Amino acid sequence: MKWHLLKRTLIDRALIKRNFANSSQLWANVLPLVVLPLMLVAYAAAGGVPTDPDIAAILSNVDSNRIQNTALTLQNFRTRQSCSDQPEPGHGVTAARDFILAQYQSIPGLQVRLDPFVHTGCPSAPTFNVIAWLPGKHRNRLVILGGHYDSRTTLVTDSASDAPGGNDSGAQTAVVLELARVFAGRNTGFYVDVGAADPVNLSVTKWFYDLGWSGLNIEPNKQLFDRLAADRPRDINLDCGVGATASEAQFFEPDVGELSSFDSRVRDNAQSSGKPTSTRTVAVVPLTDLLNHHCPDRTIDFLKIDVEGWEDEVLKGLDLKRYRPIVILIEATVPQTRIESHTEWEPRVLDADYSFVYFDGVNRFYLANEHADLKKHFAVPPNVFDDFETFPLVRARTHAEHLLEVLNRPSLRNVLGMLARKLNMWLRLNKR
């Protein structure tokens, strides 16, 4: 098991798995769906009854005004009868479809598409389902939430008369849309990775990026930065150093890019052992300045610092009173040894109202005290119940699946068959 996998699993466990008509007629149908669960949660909390924090967090994100606005917008299309197409601009089932499609597309992390089908009542009219899905961890599990957005009068074939459907399909579609927004919410987190290194190999943030998160990556090693910039277009990628003050510093780059460092002790140890080295001058900027410039208003879900002995300098340039990452993980051993090094810098973190919650043998994890309820997620190490896979295993399986796909192509099977026949012929001739 790789250390990056342990780090990713713990953050995943703590930050993602925690969260998972007329107007009067409309609210008579919709309001209980939204308000009753919120009232029950509030009542339970006020009465001292234990509540599930994950469910409470999900319910706290439900916006009743947003549900009402969605349903009222659908009403204003006048009719959404399946064959109504666009009886006039801005009305009809096609306009409603385009609205719903745009709403799904505006939710980060969702994958959206139109699914065309032929309606027996209007075979020449464009008819579509709007499908959106949130990729999860389990490839073989699927949870479906559905609602119909079409509406009709008492005459099923009437595609012209008004059929607003606010308290039926309008309310149903509004609730499904709100659920999509709520459950996709944790797929829009934000990370800061100081010493980001490779975007795939040993990366702590790749898992979150693939889920739809984004972040700020800082990597002064040129080769590693180029890979980051190519692989993470949604992220902010910077090729500077991070330190206590704005300055320049000598950056040591060994053959293994992930071991690059500003720390002179790392450079001296490499040179004394005869390892090939190179050094160049790199701009250094305090982390607070970078956050002020690139993401001043972002909530930081987690901060990772992996800078090969330069941790104290990074922390000196970070104002943890202004920026409050929920989780901070910092490499806490002397590079390439088991010797712990956190005593050099840990007081800065603890004095900023953070608590130490976990040590994995290389990295120390800290939790902002205002999020103490998440401490339970660090009680045990990553284990079989976290249902994770190591990157080498995933890479090997993907490679094997690709080879099988290539081997099963008809053209290749024909070539292999011809080669087998020629080989058999050659073997028979040579036996004579």
**Residue 78 sits in the same domain as residue 179:** yes
Domain range for residue 134?
63-186
> Does residue 17 fall inside a structural domain?
no
Q: Are residues 256 and 367 in the same domain?
A: yes
Provide the 10 A C-beta neighbour count for residue 96: 28
What is the residue whose two structure tokens read 């934000």? Answer: 190
**Reduced to 3 DSSP states, what percent helix, strand and coil does the chain have, rounded to the nearest 5?**
45, 15, 40
- Given 139, 160, 186, the domain boundary residue is 186
pLDDT tens readout for residues 119-158: 777 767 667 888 888 766 555 666 677 777 888 777 777 7
* 379 shares a domain with 329: yes
Check whether residue 257 and residue 353 sit in a common domain. Answer: yes
The span from the CA of 339 to the CA of 87, in Å, is: 74
- Residue 3's pLDDT is what? 52
Distances from the Cα of 21 to the Cαs of 70, 74, 151, in angstroms? 13, 10, 11
- Asked whether residue 398 falls in the same domain as residue 270, the answer is no
Nearest to 7, CA basis, from 202, 256, 166, 268: 202
Assign 244 a pLDDT band (cuts: 50, 70, 90).
very high
Domain assignment present for residue 423? The answer is yes
> What's residue 396's pLDDT?
83
pLDDT at residue number 258 = 79
Half-sphere exposure of 398 (CA within 13 A, CB side): 7
Laid out side by side, the sheet with 354-359 consists of: 236-238, 214-218, 190-194, 302-305, 327-331, 363-368, 354-359
Structural domain contains residue 132: yes
Tell me the pLDDT of the chain averaged across its residues. 80
Domain termination site, one of 168, 186, 204? 186
As a whole-number percent, the residues of the chain with pLDDT over 70 amount to 77
CB crowding 102-122: b at 16 or more within 10 Å, else e = ebbeebebbebeeeeeeeeeb
Please state the domain count of the chain: 3
4 confidence band (pLDDT: 50, 70, 90)? low
Question: CA Rg, the chain, in Å?
Answer: 28
Asked if the model's pLDDT at residue 165 lies above 90, the reply is no
Q: What's the pLDDT at 24?
A: 43
Helix segments in 237-358, DSSP class H: 264-272, 287-294, 311-316, 346-350
Residue 45 domain-assigned (yes or no): no
* C-alpha distances out from residue 274 to 11, 95, 254, 267, 379, Å: 38, 70, 11, 11, 42
Cβ atoms 193, 120 nearer than 8 A = no
Residue at 39: amino acid letter = M
Is the pLDDT higher at 112 or at 41? 112
Question: Which of 371, 386, 401 delimits the end of a domain?
Answer: 386
Strands 302-305 and 327-331: parallel
Are both 102 and 212 inside the same structural domain? no
| pLDDT band with cut points at 50, 70 and 90 for residue 23 | very low
Higher pLDDT: 359 or 56? It is 359
Mean per-residue pLDDT for 320-326? Answer: 95
pLDDT for 26 equals 44
Whether the Cβ atoms of residue 373 and residue 356 lie closer than 8 Å to each other:
no
pLDDT digits (tens, 9 = 90+) for 199-243: 988 888 988 888 778 999 999 999 999 999 999 999 999 999 999
